[in-house]
Structures are given as C-alpha cells and as structure tokens.
Structure 1
Amino acid sequence: MFSPRKTDPFFAALLEIAEHVQKAMHYANDFKVTSVADLKEVSIKLKEYETQGDDMIHDLIAKLNISFMTPIEREDILQLAIKMDDILDGIEHFSANLEMFSLTDIDEYVQKFMDNIVKSSDEIVKAMGLLSKKKLVQMRDHAVLIKEYERICDEVLRTSIKQLFLREKDPIRIIQFKDIYELLEDIADHCQDVANTLETIIMRNA
C-alpha cells in the first residue's frame, strides 16, 4: 500500500504539526516564571504557537480538499491534526488563565501534570516519525505510553483537588487552582485522543 522510498506529504505535514506541539509544550514547561510579566510573556508566546498551529491545520485541510488520493483515510488524517491542535489550544488556554489569575506560584501538582504532558508530546512526535516512515505497527508502543501518561494525570487530578480542599482556605484560590488542574487534565485527554486515533490507523492499515 505504501511506497517505502518517499515520505508522503500528508505524513510529513502531520510530523511537522507534532513537532510544533512538542516545541510549544517544552517552551511552556522550561520557562521559569518569577513574575506577572513572565506570565504575560509566556502567554503571548504560546498564543503565537497556537496561531501558527492553526495555520498548519488549515494548510493540511486545504491539501485534503484538493487531493484525490490519501495514504490513509482522510478522516484519520484530519482527526490526528485536529487532536494535536486541541493540545495546542489547551496549553494556550492554560497559560492565559495563569496570566489572568496572576498565578506565579504554581505547585507540585501543576508540575506533575506538565511533566507527563511533555512526555506525551515527545511520544506523539516519535509516533508521527514512524508514521512518516510507514512503520505503523511500531506506533503502538508510543500510543500505549501516551495513555499511561494520561492515566497518571488522572491520578494527579484526583490527588490535587483533594489536597486543594484540605489545604487551601481562600475560596478564590480554590476556584483558580481547580480550574488550572482541570485544564491540564483536558490537555492530557487530548493527548490520549491522539493515541486513540493512532491505534485506529494501525487497526485499519497495518
């Protein structure tokens, strides 16, 4: 079904989107916030990543609309692109809320979420690299890892909210941090959506 000699332009585009998501996630995780001004800088930069990601998705959709043949189902290509875009939207929304709430003192739970989400973005890039080489079966290991990181984030969400209500007395801070935790869990869910789509592609084509 696939030519082993040439990278399909749709697979190349998906890999480029995945690498863009990875860069955004690493940028958000690596930036050391110490002030409200730092929050603003991160928010602006992640908005740029999100806007660039939208442009990449639009380009891919335009190619799909004019292409007679695609290497896998059009719906699967589109689903992968949209789910990766959801990750970008999520991290941009997360950073915007940090800036809106002026939350410079993120806790260990936010860091645990971020660590696992960043690992998921790394696995997505590895999987898309294999897709671009038409090595579909090998993608499964990366999909399994992404799902494991999402499972860890589920546990972090339960623990973080429990501890939030036990430790925090300020109702406004409770609302703010609960919102932040749930936004991060949503991002982990979007990563899992990518993994589910990868497994669908393996089932249909391998």
Structure 2
Amino acid sequence: MLFGKLLPKEGNFFELFNQHAERIVEAARAFSNLVANYNDVHLREKYNRDVDNAEHAADRVTQEVNRLIHTTFITPIDREQIHALINLMDDVADLIQDSAETMALYDVRHMTEEISRLTDLSVRCCERVQDAVKLLARIGEPAVAESALKTCEEIDRLESDADRVMRSAMSKLFRDEPDVRELIKLKAIYELLETITDKCEDVANQIEGIVLENS
C-alpha cells in the first residue's frame, strides 16, 4: 500500500499535447485573421492580442509537460521523445507570435499575395499537426498508426509547397520591389512564415519517430 502511494503516477502527457496543439491552431488562425484584416487597425490589434494569448497559453502547457517529465516515474513514451516533441511544438507557437510581432515592429504597410499564401499553408500545417497529435494516444492500433504517418506525410507536402511559394516570392521581391526598406521587411516576413512550416515538418518527423518506435 505504501509503495503504491510513493510511486508517481503516469502523467497525462497525451492530453497536454492535445491542449498545446489547440493553442497552436488558435494562434495560427488568429494570425490568419490578422493578415486578412490588416488594413483595419483595431482588428489588427485584436488579432495580435489573440496570437499573444494563444502563445502564452501554449507556454504554460510546455512548462507543465516539462515539470511532469521530472516528477513522473513511468511515462507512456520515452521521456526524451516527450521533451523533444513539446519543445518543437512550442517553437511553432513562438514563430507565429514572432511573425505577428515582426509585422508590427517593421511597420509593414500592406499584405502581399505571397504573405497570404504562406499564411494559409502555415495554418494548414498547424491543423495537420493537431490531427497527428490527437492520434498519439492510440498508436498501438495499426490503423491509427498508419493514419498518423499519412498525416505526417501531408505536413511534409505542405512544407514543400511553402518552400516553392517562398522561392517564387523571393524571386519576385528582388526583381520587382524598388524600395530597399520594403524589400528587407518583406524578406524577413516571408522567411519567418516559411520557417513555421519547416518547424511543423520537424514536429511531423518527431511524431513519425514516436509512431515507428511505439506502434
């Protein structure tokens, strides 16, 4: 009886992963709304706050996961995998917030078609990350494991699409933009948005590793 009381229980890591993924999608959709309503200063400020709130909530989940890693005796998957996954996910939320902050700090005056396309791809990547994360608790089931791997493959394809948009955007920017200051601003924004999809791909790769080792 005493031993049972002393043994730390398994932390609910999968539920915390799901909570974090929800905050990522919230941040991504708020950023998308910011881009869509950029000319409305009041809405821009509102959606900036929404991005910040979602990122702060994601940080709290990350802190709880990292705390549980050190206080839980038995974890459902390898604790190094848990640590790597939650921190990669947190990087996604951070990059979304960085993108919103950079637009404000650089005083970007208008949105381009390329920003809209990269934002859309970022949102879709984040949504697929959420889909993949939801499956982690049941990857012992062959059909669920296969579905998780297919979702990760979709994230890889979306990242490749974003990479192509990025290269095209850079080519157009250096070819057509006469204002050097505007060029520097837009280049930074394009790079940040493409990095969101890169980091989602890193999350997908980590999930693939977890699935292959634990299914």
Same-fold status (TM-score > 0.5): yes
1:141 is matched with: 150
Deviations 1:150-206 (A, max 9, x none): 101111111001100111100000000000000111111110000100111122111
- The answer for unaligned runs of 5 or more in structure 1 is 1-6
1:195-206 matches, cutoff 5 A: 195-206=204-215
Between the aligned partners of 1:175 and 1:204, the Cα distance in structure 2 is: 44
Contact residue 86 and residue 190 of structure 1 kept, 8 A: yes
Between the aligned partners of 1:84 and 1:142, the Cα distance in structure 2 is: 16
1:4 is matched with: none
2:145 is paired with a residue whose SS is: coil
1:47 is matched with: 52
Deviations 1:19-42 (A, max 9, x none): 111111112113422144443333
1:138 deviates by 2.0
- Aligned mate of 1:80, from 75, 79, 85: 85
Q: TM-score, normalised by structure 2?
A: 0.88
Between the aligned partners of 1:198 and 1:104, the Cα distance in structure 2 is: 38
Deviations 1:61-86 (A, max 9, x none): 11111011111111111111111111
1:136 is paired with a residue whose SS is: helix
2:17 is matched with: 14
Question: Is 1:23 paired with 2:26?
Answer: yes
Between the aligned partners of 2:88 and 2:98, the Cα distance in structure 1 is: 15
Which of 187-196 and 122-131 deviates more? Answer: 122-131
Residue 126 of structure 2 aligns with an amino acid whose one-letter code is S
Residue 118 of structure 1 aligns with an amino acid whose one-letter code is V
2:164 is matched with: 155
1:95-174 matches, cutoff 5 A: 95-134=100-139, 135-174=144-183
Between the aligned partners of 1:179 and 1:37, the Cα distance in structure 2 is: 24
1:136 deviates by 2.7
1:117 deviates by 1.1
**What is the Cα-based RMSD across aligned positions, in Å?**
1.6
Residue correspondences, number: 200
Between the aligned partners of 1:51 and 1:14, the Cα distance in structure 2 is: 15
2:64 is matched with: 59
Residue 169 of structure 1 aligns with an amino acid whose one-letter code is P
Which of 178-187 and 23-32 deviates more? Answer: 23-32
Contact residue 125 and residue 155 of structure 2 kept, 8 A: yes
1:182 is matched with: 191
Between the aligned partners of 1:121 and 1:185, the Cα distance in structure 2 is: 13
Contact residue 35 and residue 104 of structure 1 kept, 8 A: no
Question: Is 1:68 paired with 2:73?
Answer: yes
